[in-house]
Amino acid sequence: MGTHRFGRIGALLLGVVLLTAACTRGDDDEAEQQPTGQTAQEPAPAESLLQTVIDRGTLRCGVNNTVPGFGFETAEGQIEGFDIDFCKAIAAAVFATDSPEEGTHYELIPVDADARFNALRAGEFDVLVRNTTWTSSRDGAEGVSFAHPNFYDGQAILAPENDFGSLEELDGASICVTTGTTTELNLADYFASRDLTFEPVVLEDYEVIFEAFRQNRCDAVTGDRSALQGLLPLWEEDVPNLTIFDDVISKEPLAPGVLDGDDEWFDVVNMVVNGIILAEELGVSQDNVDQEIQSPSDPFVGALLGVPVQEGEELGLGFDPGIGIDPTFMQFVLGAVGNYADIWELHLTPLGHERGINALWTDGGIQYAIPFR
């Protein structure tokens, strides 16, 4: 009887196994009947901002309009400066013109420091070219990709020379800083390391800061040395005997920025900045670019300008970066704004800015462009 019972159980188990196999085979059959050669649909890649800018026909740049030499609104209502020329350069490269015009090829959108990253993320402009420091948190948490720095700066302090002879004499002073910048934290760290204290007066921009300064709401002003140096002669018309202390409070690599995740658009902006610096190193300027186009002085210049250097080569064979714009883009850039030295001499030399660490690496500075190869 025990043997018969086990036999019945075995038969039952065998039936379950066969039923399970049949069900499984049915699933496999259905899977085999699915159309072959098809995979799950992936979302289409987002269009690069480069194509959007080309289709729109106008480049939009987020800029400063309160810093002499870099981005400053003149009495005639024009915004001019070092950073503005980099905006023009990008427009020249994208639209293949050596005469980019505001309102046609590019638009300047003033934005204050506190709003700049939110405005960039909101799509209010395509590239931020506004004396903005490249930091780890901005590159990470803020979601900004920074191109090669176009100006290496440092934080400094401006104060009335008659009242303060050194930074140490500012212990306990009230100091104006710009909201939305790294300056307040930098200053706090620097003062703490020297057992000094200060009272921050946080304001929107340099125009508001100057009003507070001249009304004695703050004893001194801190910011990028380049900005303070440009503002000093203007401010001294109302507040005489100003000085900028030699102390370097922080490193401030200033660079154009675009949104993370768009490699093609980043490459265009980054390549333009590098090309402007490399052009100075190679001796190609606004004055001689036409001559170099016709007859490049060496293969490196030919690569920069995207022209053949040997008889029989096709146009662009010397260098085609494959970034979605014409390989001769640096011809238009140099025709529009010139090389790094050209831009510097036009906007910064008249204000007394020395090249310093912004000199080329061949001249003792740290400006070093990637090769066009």
Instruction: Quote the tokens at residue 249.
Output: 């409070």
pLDDT of residue 47: 86
Q: What φ, ψ does residue 198 adopt, rounded to 5°?
A: -155, 165
Enumerate residues 6+ apart whose C-beta is below 8 A from 132.
116, 138, 146, 254, 255, 256, 257
Of the candidates 81, 87, 83, the residue with the CA atom closest to the CA atom of residue 68: 81
Q: How confident is the prediction for the chain on average, in pLDDT?
A: 88
Task: Tell me the C-alpha distance between 181 and 63, whole Å.
Answer: 15
Q: Report, as ranges of residue numbers, the positions in the chain whose pLDDT lies below 50.
A: 1-40, 42-43, 312-316
If DSSP states are collapsed to H, E and C, what string results for the chain? CHHHHHHHHHHHHHHHHHHHHHHHHHHHHHHHCCCCCCCCCCCCCCCCHHHHHHHHCCEEEEECCEECCCEEECCCCCEECHHHHHHHHHHHHHHCCCCCCECCCEEEEECCCCCHHHHHHCCCCCEECCCCECCHHHHCCCCEEECCCCEEEEEEEEEECCCCCCHHHHCCEEEEEECCCCHHHHHHHHHHCCCCCEEEEEECCHHHHHHHHHCCCCCEEEEEHHHHHHHHHHHCCCCCCEEECCCCCCEEEECCEEECCCHHHHHHHHHHHHHHHHHHHHCCCCCCHHHHHHCCCCHHHHHHHCCCCCCCCCCCCCCCCCCCCCCCHHHHHHHHHCCHHHHHHHHCHHHCCCCHHHCEHHHCCCECCCCCC
pLDDT at residue 22, as a whole number: 40
Write down the pTM of the prediction: 0.84
71 within 8 A of 84, measured Cβ to Cβ: yes
Strands 198-203 and 173-178: parallel
Dihedrals phi, psi of 151, to nearest 5 degrees: -160, 125
**End-to-end Cα separation, the chain, in angstroms:** 90
How far does CA 190 lie from the centroid of its chain?
26
For residue 250, the model assigns a pLDDT of 95
pLDDT at res. 74: 94
Instruction: For each of the domains in the chain, give its residue range(s) and CATH number, in order of start.
Output: 49-150+255-285+324-363 (3.40.190.10), 154-251 (3.40.190.10)
The single-letter code of the amino acid at 148 is: H
- Please write the tens of the pLDDT for every residue from 252-272: 999 999 999 999 999 999 999
Q: Give the integer Cα–Cα distance in Å for 270 and 236.
A: 37
Distance CA 250, CA 365 (A): 18
| Amino acid identity for residue 193 in this structure | S
- Position of tokens 């100091």? 175
Residue 102 half-sphere exposure toward CB, CA atoms < 13 A: 12
Distance CA 205, CA 84 (A): 18
Query: What does the pLDDT read at residue 93?
Result: 98
Residues 6+ apart with CB under 8 A from 279: 285, 304, 330, 334, 338, 339, 340
pLDDT for 282-329, tens place per residue? 999 999 999 999 999 999 999 999 987 765 444 445 567 788 999 999
Burial (CB count <10 Å: 0-12, 13-18, 19+), residue 312: exposed
The pLDDT of residue 327: 93
Strands 198-203 and 242-244: unpaired
- pLDDT at res. 251: 95
